[in-house]
Chains A and B, each alone.
Chain A
Amino acid sequence: MSEITSLTLYELIKNIKEKKISSNEAAKSFVDRADKSKKINAYVTENFENCLKLSKEFDDKPNFDLKLPGIPIAVKDLFCTYEVRTTAGSNILNNFVPTYESTVTQNIWNEGGILLGKLNCDEFAMGSSNETSFFGNVQNPIAKDLVPGGSSGGSSAALAANLTPVTIGTDTGGSIRQPASFTGTVGLKPTYGSCSRYGIVAFASSLDQAGPMSKDVKDSSILLEVISSFDKKDSTSIDFKRNNYSSELTRNIKGLKIGIPKEYRVDGMPDEIEKLWKKGIEYAKDCGAEIIDISLPHTSYALPTYYIVAPAEASSNLARYDGVKYGLRSSGKNLIDMYEKTRSEGFGEEVKRRVMIGTYVLSSGYYDAYYLKAQKVRQLIKRDFDQAYNKVDAILTPSTPSSAFKIGEKSNDPVSMYLNDIFTVPVNLAGLPGISIPAGVDKNNYPLGLQIIGKPFDEQTVLNIAYSMEEKINYKNNITDWWMK
């Protein structure tokens, strides 16, 4: 079996259960391919030797009742992993090795998953192109010198390049869905409170949410089932009845009402995005869904709101990286000097920019005008969705306003970079589930994604619509393995 790495998770599990492939064979295939794919720069830290060892142990004593029996999986380097370096893409955590495991990754290992390694990401998940990582750019497997999206850029690239069967990312403003869209893969951000934040390096606590990234919708449903759990260690984790997402997955979405929000038709949106969206509407109709025009009137305020709330929380969340307890410490004349040098050298430009914005909007005299107002607008955005969901079961939008761009193209223009998140941030602000599925290509043959947004805790409907549309769209990535040549 030469093509182990191109199997979907579902297929790989099936083959392992049927003993056609051993866990160790699978691990070897992914390790071999990773060795030939260094140019992608997907990995920050490899766990290959340990993965091979653990896969062998699995084969010696297999347990096929597990949901991820001996499956090697690489994860975004924002999840703390026991005794495996966790950097969050930052110099300040360059040497940080946790003595603990995040709940989400623990859930994966509990179901038989084996850690392949830690995947590159934007520093502290702040970015839309993976260019803010201390560990360098990641290549989009779609084409040379194309960004893989961000912040889960290492994850999307690894997935598209067949370096891992599935992966997990985190999504604060689009960091799962946008890279999925840029790489022709599937990315799901669950409802806020579905997946525990315990052990995930925090960016913006009220927005951060972990989720599955996969080659197809079914794989996302399998992984979501594993990682979504109530966790007492996270006070914002919600104790709701979780579905058996994979076994309840159905293509029957007849009669479901899907809303099309007019406010997502933004100025200057490329024609091909508009076309993609129209095509998506037709696919949804073909699947038996009813299309309803809706309004989300506060959409245009989402991006500015997000860029107040997220940096505010980040400025406080990142205060712990001070050189005192762990991570990088630069020497200084005194405590303040040490702080300044450590944080100047430890953080990159984008992180510094957001820490400064966040500090500013929380400052006395500005708090009411920025942070408080943003919180109020956030409630209005949430209310828009609540009202829309009186009429529809889900909402269909484009995932991003453009396809993947060239490395360096936007790195000196933060505002244009932030605009990438225009369709994804409202979903985070409202705490809703959203998925991006590949739906077509642009004039350069770069993938484009469609986003399906659901009601809170209704991941099943989101997955079902995506599953149904996926069949009609029948998208296939055309990846040439150019980086190996």
Chain B
Amino acid sequence: MDEIMSKNNSEYLIERNDNVYEVVIGLEVHAQVTSNSKLFSSSSTKFGAEPNTQVSLVDAAFPGMLPVINEFCVKQAIKTGIGLRAKINNKSVFDRKNYFYADLPQGYQISQYKYPIVGEGNVILDMPEGQKQVGIERLHLEQDAGKSIHDIDPSNTLVDLNRSGVALMEIVSKPDLRSPDEVNAYIKKLRSIMRYLGTCDGNMQEGSLRADVNVSVRIKGSTDLGTRCEIKNVNSIKFMQMAIIYEANRQVDLIEEGQEIDQETRLFDTKKNETRSMRSKEDAHDYRYFPDPDLLPLEITDEFIDKLKSEIPELPDDKKKRFIDEFKVSSYDATILVSDIDTAKYFEEVVAKMGKNRDMKLAVNWITGELFAVLNEKNIEIAQSPISAKNLAKLINLIKNGTISGKIAKTIFELMLDGDIDPQIIVEEKGLKQESDPKALEALIDKIINDNREKAIEYKQGKEKLFGFFVGQAMKASGGKANPQLINEILKKKL
């Protein structure tokens, strides 16, 4: 394998012989709509239920059963469209996508083909080299299929229809992505926007977010699109990136060998880390799309859209701007803080609780530093943080007003983890209050100088690095509680 050129940014280029290739990526993200009931039936959508316990007669396609649109899911799709700064179509149509499979009870999936509910929009990515806009082609509503289980019974495939009929939003991007890093940023941004809106929980482990990845390559600088391959149903960002890297290199190799790339559908084998042909263009299904005669076209008025617009919360891009303007945090910090709605909420709560004399830099550092480390270590979300925003704000204020040093604060932080204990109580109970009484400190320092006369003389003779020794002794003697600034001042005076 040739070297992959790597710069200090998100660019991804493949060099072969004298040719430099770029990769062109488009994503079809399938996002499960957050909704208690399914797209066309009243069955529950709760994850993890016993197989076939959340299946209505409609979901199982019994004779004479008819779909009835779930208005809530429509609202969710429109809200998502608004979040993607996209055009909401006043009229959209549900079509039938016909194919046979054991976990597709109707023998067709109800989807939207020619007339989706949401049209063109865009998403802003914050990349190390700056912002990048990724175009959204469309968003449409469709039903999920059931699940075929091949590994329980040795001779039969079992079918679980709990997922059958669950509402999905298929969000199709334009072929605007150029690297695995951008794909990572795109998925995370999409997820972030939908979590802000409450329209998709973005849980990739539970399959709430999956993507088909379209990959093609071309000589860098070319404006023509190469022949693309579609990698089906990849369910983690890491796998998407691995699949893209494998697939892009495979395509470059083929081109370099003078071969043609077949437009085909491929699967990503996560164990072997390779993509494999699933079906060629010739074998592609003819889905025989046609408007579902059981459903009327979906008509949405401007008033309805405006009302939903008024319900849209502040979204990541606006929040970031406000954090920078209002809280004077850096663009970098703001990006981190707004990336997840719960982090942003936590940060804002800390800010509120810190009161007038707030220290933003301390707040950002403690959240993105100590707190994130703990969350990572415990593998939990910030919503389950063992330390409440209120108590973290208190801790920060204790540092800010000089009650404790930053070093002691770290000790207190560790103690707070055990049941979200108020740091003020820890300070008092453990006597961790910083010693800032100059008289007490002077006495303490006098004793140290007295006990280390020789070193004091050496210092006076010019061995200046001994100053640190005296600071260390003073801190040790105070049990770490001495105000370091005062110690410095007194030592300088006395020595």
On A, residues with C-beta under 8 Å from B are: 79-80, 86, 88, 93, 96, 98-100, 102, 197-202, 204-206, 232-236, 312-313, 315-316, 318-320, 322, 324-326, 335, 339, 359, 362-364, 367, 371
Contacts and interface: CB of A to CB of B under 8 A. Distances in A.
Nearest to B101: A335
Contacts, number: 96
B159 A324 contact: yes
23 contacts: A98-B64, A197-B66, A198-B66, A202-B63, A234-B68, A235-B67, A236-B293, A319-B98, A320-B61, A320-B63, A320-B107, A322-B107, A324-B102, A324-B159, A325-B61, A325-B105, A362-B98, A362-B288, A362-B289, A363-B286, A363-B288, A367-B288, A367-B290
Interface in B78-132: 96, 98, 100-102, 105-108
A206 B295 CA distance: 10
B414 to A, nearest CB: 57
Contacts of A234: 66, 68
B296 interface: yes
A320 B106 contact: yes
A204 B293 CA distance: 8
B105 A199 contact: no
B60 interface: yes
B299 interface: no
Interface string B288-321: 1110011110000000000000000000000000
Interface residues of B, number: 30
Contact of A99 (B57, B98, B105, B108): B57
A80 B64 contact: yes
A314 B20 CA distance: 53
Interface of B: 57, 60-69, 96, 98, 100-102, 105-108, 157, 159, 286, 288-290, 293-296
B156 to A, nearest CB: 10
Contacts of B64: 79-80, 98, 102, 197-202
A238 to B, nearest CB: 10
B288 A316 contact: yes
Nearest to B94: A235
Nearest to B96: A316
A206 B102 contact: no
A359 B98 CA distance: 10
Q: What are the 4 A-B residue pairs with the smallest beta carbon separation, nearest first? A: A319-B107, A205-B293, A362-B288, A206-B293
A122 B296 CA distance: 28
Given A233-B68, A325-B105, A339-B100, A93 B63 contact: yes
A316 B102 contact: no
B294 A236 contact: yes
A313 B288 contact: no
Contacts of A205: 293-294
B108 A319 contact: yes
Given A205-B294, A325-B60, 6 more contacts: A98-B63, A235-B295, A320-B63, A320-B107, A326-B62, A339-B100
A359 B287 CA distance: 10
Contacts of A201: 63-64
Pick from A201, A235, A236, A359 the residue with the most CB of B within 10 Å: A235
Pick from B67, B101, B105, B293 the residue with the most CB of A within 10 Å: B293
Contact of B293 (A100, A313, A362): A313
Given A233-B68, A313-B293, A364-B286, A88 B63 contact: yes
A99 B57 CA distance: 9
A311 B323 CA distance: 60
Contacts of A86: 63
B105 A320 contact: yes
A318 B101 CA distance: 14
A218 to B, nearest CB: 30
B66 A96 contact: no
A136 B206 CA distance: 51
A319 to B, nearest CB: 2
A319 B290 contact: no
Nearest to B288: A362
Given A202-B63, A234-B66, A359 B288 contact: yes
Contacts of A233: 66, 68
Contacts of A364: 286, 288
Contacts of B96: 316
A319 B287 CA distance: 13
Contacts of B62: 80, 98, 100, 325-326
A340 to B, nearest CB: 10
A316 B66 contact: no
Nearest to B61: A320
Contacts of B61: 320, 325
Contacts of A235: 66-69, 294-296
Nearest to A101: B64
Nearest to A312: B290
Nearest to A93: B63
A371 B290 contact: yes
Nearest to B55: A325
A323 B231 CA distance: 31
Contacts of B66: 197-198, 233-235
Nearest to A336: B100
Contacts of A102: 64
Contacts of A204: 293
B73 to A, nearest CB: 14
A347 to B, nearest CB: 13
Contacts of A359: 288
A92 to B, nearest CB: 10
Contacts of B159: 324
Contacts of B286: 363-364
Contacts of B105: 320, 324-325
A90 to B, nearest CB: 10
Contacts of B100: 319, 322, 339
B57 A100 contact: yes
A426 B308 CA distance: 42
A359 B295 CA distance: 20
A335 B102 contact: yes
Contacts of B102: 322, 324, 335
Nearest to B284: A364
A434 to B, nearest CB: 20
Pick from A198, A324, A339 the residue with the most CB of B within 10 Å: A324
Contacts of A312: 290
Contacts of B157: 335
Contacts of A339: 100
Contacts of B65: 198-199
Given A99-B57, A206-B293, A80 B63 contact: yes
B293 A319 contact: no
B142 to A, nearest CB: 16
A365 to B, nearest CB: 9
A198 B294 CA distance: 10
B296 A236 contact: yes
Nearest to B286: A364
A382 B68 CA distance: 26
A200 B62 CA distance: 10
A312 B108 CA distance: 13
A335 B157 CA distance: 9
A209 to B, nearest CB: 13
A99 B63 CA distance: 11
A312 B290 CA distance: 9
A172 to B, nearest CB: 12
Contacts of B290: 312, 316, 362, 367, 371
A205 B66 CA distance: 10
A335 B148 CA distance: 12
Nearest to A358: B288
Contacts of A320: 61, 63, 105-107
A141 to B, nearest CB: 29
Contacts of B293: 204-206, 236, 313
B98 A316 contact: yes
B117 to A, nearest CB: 16
B165 to A, nearest CB: 13
B287 to A, nearest CB: 8
A101 to B, nearest CB: 10
